[in-house]
């Protein structure tokens, strides 16, 4: 961009852009403003009339209430462990798979990869019934219900369902890395293990980081699988399950729901604000085919 | 395998086996998980779709195509309404998402200061959980004078005389679902378009500036043509995404009234987890999977691109 010679029309153009973007931002922010405003209110089960867009007061008692709930620490703890445990395992296993698909020739590779792709197109939560049955039938001593209602059971499903998508994304990334790199390692007598850990891993940090961030966001908000697999276990409560609990069937204390929502949202927003410059946009596109 | 393996065949097997040994440490951990928790369940689903499945007793009775017949011949036509709503969702929201995403990306790309701020702020809806978003929209579309939309329409703008029971009626309910879909996805399209816009060579703009082209002319003659592949990509994703609509329907309208705002995924959920009709649910799942795969193939063929292969590549 040229710095010199900013004309009047240029300034007018910029002003126009600002106005349009601010307008768009306002419209897209309404739900957030609404949440924030109403989280400061006290409704005692009745909605205010007229509805409030802008806050009339600054009161954090809804937040205090949520934090002081006895199930809140449980939900936070479980959400953190589930999210990071799942993403850690899923990303590592997928990196290995992706490397195998991208860099090692073996019979049936293309067919297998096509199958992985196909699974991405099928609505995932249809599998929840058979997944539940599989977990239940895993006969492990000390677990009368198999792995239903346990963290390992939930995480196994999370990891497994993440593998196909992650593998797909990382395989493309590994394939686009220059062959010369791994050839030189092969000549030096290094096997695939050496290439993977010494060359591919360091080179693919941007891709892995991007993918992990989107995976963290997805796991953090995961509701459905958790509901089915561990929904009956109070000790396995997660933040999305807690949110749904707060949203009572007939009477809802909306300030609690919004306070809890905003607290659940904050870590994700911080994550994206901190890392947005490092995100590889390909990560966005690969995650979009499936919710 | 037969006992009479020829020598060369034996050799091939040996070579394949060796290749497999090399690949196994990399591919196997993922493959085992995928096989047990993804592929096997899918096959199991096909079996359930053709059977009556009693989950408590664990019995599966083969029925043939009965579940499908049941779905197609339902007197309320729930399946057809659900399918209609999936298609309508795609038809209504996709153009809005494409146009708004493109325009916002163009504006953000041309602003001199604050582009990062707008980029992140406009992306917020995308990273906000569906559950949270649905809760807020339920509140905003509240049926009484306490909902934001009703208040605006009746008390502020005086467009309507009566409060609209948004989430209880067919078209207002669908409207709420569409609006939420657009609101949630525009930021995603914007980011994709931004990446594409940053790939357009600055020399093109400079040449246009020398020719005296204004902001609109540049958009019309440089930006639009360069964005064609991106537009196809966004289009394909949104159309396929319209078959994955679920949470907003579950939390906003529950498919009501009488399935008129339902979609295939919600119908599947309803059959499986409210009515415990797992056979019917699995059959719906199979049908929607067929629609998705067919749509993907048709779109890729007509738009002549292989999204599946190129989509995930880093920008």
Give residue A46's pLDDT: 65
B165 close to B172: Cβ distance less than 8 angstroms = yes
Greater confidence, B254 or A75?
Answer: A75
B119 and B17 fall within a common domain: no
**Backbone conformation region of residue B158, classed left if phi is above 0, alpha if psi is from -120 to 50, else beta:** left
Q: Report if residue B57 sits inside a domain.
A: no
Phi, psi of B227 (to 5 degrees): -90, 0
Q: Report if residue B81 sits inside a domain.
A: yes
CATH of the domain at B295: 1.10.3720.10
Q: Which residue has the tokens 């195998």?
A: A100
Angle at CA of residue B42, ends B126 and B70, nearest 5°? 95
B44 and B80 fall within a common domain: no
Q: Report if residue B63 sits inside a domain.
A: no
What global pTM score does this model have?
A: 0.86
Can you list the pairs that A148-154 forms with residues at least 24 positions away whose Cβ atoms lie under 8 Å? Answer: A148/A229, A149/A229, A149/A230, A149/A232, A149/A233, A149/A236, A150/A230, A150/A233, A150/A236, A151/A78, A151/A81, A151/A82, A151/A230, A151/A236, A153/A229, A153/A230, A154/A82, A154/A225, A154/A226, A154/A229, A154/A230, A154/A236
Q: Judge: B289–A176 Cβ closer than 8 Å, yes or no.
A: no
B177 and B258 fall within a common domain: yes
Q: Report if residue B201 sits inside a domain.
A: yes
B152 and B232 fall within a common domain: yes
Task: Kindly report, residue by residue over A15-58, the tens digit of the pLDDT.
Answer: 999 999 999 999 999 999 989 988 888 876 666 767 777 777 88
CATH 1.10.3720.10-classified regions of chain A: 70-287
Q: Report if residue B315 sits inside a domain.
A: no
Q: Judge: A282–B27 Cβ closer than 8 Å, yes or no.
A: no
Q: Which fold has domain A70-287?
A: MetI-like fold (1.10.3720)
Give residue B164's pLDDT: 83
B45 and B90 fall within a common domain: no
CA–CA gap between residue B243 and residue B248 (Å, rounded) = 13
Task: Kindly report, residue by residue over A59-111, the tens digit of the pLDDT.
Answer: 898 999 999 999 999 999 999 999 999 999 999 999 999 999 998 888 889 99
B107 and B22 fall within a common domain: no
B40 and B187 fall within a common domain: no
A232 close to A149: Cβ distance less than 8 angstroms = yes
B197 and B247 fall within a common domain: yes
B81 and B42 fall within a common domain: no
Q: Is the pLDDT of residue A249 over 60?
A: no
Cβ within 8 Å of B, A 76-135: 93-94, 96-97, 99-101, 104-107, 109, 112, 115-119, 121-123, 125-127, 129-131, 133-134
Q: Report if residue B56 sits inside a domain.
A: no
B43 and B74 fall within a common domain: no
Q: Report if residue B64 sits inside a domain.
A: no
Q: Is the pLDDT of residue B14 over 50?
A: yes
Band (pLDDT 50/70/90 cuts) for residue A6 is low
Q: Quote the number of domains for chain B.
A: 2
Q: Report if residue B61 sits inside a domain.
A: no
Q: Closest approach of chain A CAs to the CA of B8, in angstroms?
A: 16
Boundaries of domain holding B24 = 7-49
B295 and B183 fall within a common domain: yes
DSSP state of B129: -
B76 and B22 fall within a common domain: no
């Amino acid at each position: 961009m040229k710095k010199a010679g900013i004309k009047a029309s240029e300034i007018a153009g910029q002003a126009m852009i600002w106005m349009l973007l601010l307008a768009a931002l306002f419209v897209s922010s309404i739900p957030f403003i609404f949440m924030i405003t109403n989280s400061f209110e006290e409704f005692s089960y009745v909605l205010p009339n007229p509805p409030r867009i802008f806050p009339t007061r600054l009161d954090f008692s809804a937040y205090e209430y949520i934090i002081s709930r006895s199930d809140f620490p449980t939900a936070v703890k479980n959400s953190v462990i589930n999210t990071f445990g799942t993403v850690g395992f899923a990303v590592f296993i997928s990196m290995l798979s992706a490397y195998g698909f991208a860099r090692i020739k073996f019979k049936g590779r293309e067919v297998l990869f096509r199958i992985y792709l196909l699974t991405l197109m099928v609505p995932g939560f249809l599998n929840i019934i058979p997944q539940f049955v599989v977990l239940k039938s895993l006969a492990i001593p000390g677990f009368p219900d198999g792995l239903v209602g346990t963290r390992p059971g939930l995480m196994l499903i999370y990891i497994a369902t993440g593998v196909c998508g992650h593998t797909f994304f990382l395989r493309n990334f590994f394939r686009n890395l220059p062959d010369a790199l791994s050839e030189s390692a092969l000549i030096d007598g290094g096997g695939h293990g050496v290439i993977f850990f010494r060359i591919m891993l360091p080179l693919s940090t941007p891709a892995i980081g991007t993918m992990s961030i989107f995976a963290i966001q997805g796991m953090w908000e995961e509701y459905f699988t958790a509901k089915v697999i561990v929904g009956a276990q109070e000790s396995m409560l997660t933040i999305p399950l807690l949110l749904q609990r707060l949203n009572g069937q007939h009477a809802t204390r909306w300030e609690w729901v919004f306070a809890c929502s905003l607290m659940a949202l904050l870590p994700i927003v911080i994550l994206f604000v901190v890392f947005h410059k490092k995100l590889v946009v390909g990560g966005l596109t690969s995650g979009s085919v499936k919710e | 395998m037969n006992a009479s393996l020829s020598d060369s065949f034996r050799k091939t097997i040996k070579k394949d086996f060796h290749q497999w040994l090399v690949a196994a440490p990399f591919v196997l951990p993922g493959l085992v998980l995928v096989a047990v928790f993804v592929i096997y369940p899918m096959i199991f689903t096909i079996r359930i779709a053709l059977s009556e499945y009693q989950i408590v007793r664990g019995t599966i009775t083969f029925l043939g195509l009965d579940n499908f017949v049941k779905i197609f011949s339902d007197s309320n036509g729930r399946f057809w309404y659900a399918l209609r709503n999936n298609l309508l969702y795609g038809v209504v929201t996709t153009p809005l998402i494409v146009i708004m995403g493109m325009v916002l990306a163009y504006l953000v790309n041309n602003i001199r200061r604050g582009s990062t701020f707008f980029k992140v702020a406009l992306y917020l809806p995308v990273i906000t959980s569906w559950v949270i978003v649905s809760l807020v929209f339920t509140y905003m579309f509240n049926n009484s004078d306490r909902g934001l939309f009703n208040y605006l329409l009746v008390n502020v703008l005086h467009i309507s005389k009566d409060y609209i029971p948004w989430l209880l009626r067919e078209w207002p309910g669908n409207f709420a679902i569409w609006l939420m879909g657009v609101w949630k996805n525009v930021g995603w399209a914007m980011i994709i378009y931004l990446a594409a816009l940053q790939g357009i060579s600055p020399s093109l703009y400079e040449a246009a500036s020398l020719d005296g082209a204004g902001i609109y002319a540049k958009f019309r003659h440089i930006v639009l043509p360069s964005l064609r592949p991106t537009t196809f990509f966004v289009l394909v994703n949104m159309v396929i995404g319209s078959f994955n609509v679920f949470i907003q329907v579950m939390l906003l309208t529950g498919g009501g009234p009488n399935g008129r705002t339902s979609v295939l995924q919600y119908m599947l959920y309803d059959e499986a987890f409210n009515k415990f009709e797992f056979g019917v649910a699995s059959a719906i799942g199979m049908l929607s999977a067929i629609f998705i795969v067919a749509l993907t193939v048709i779109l890729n063929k007509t738009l002549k691109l292989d999204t599946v292969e190129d989509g995930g590549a880093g920008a």
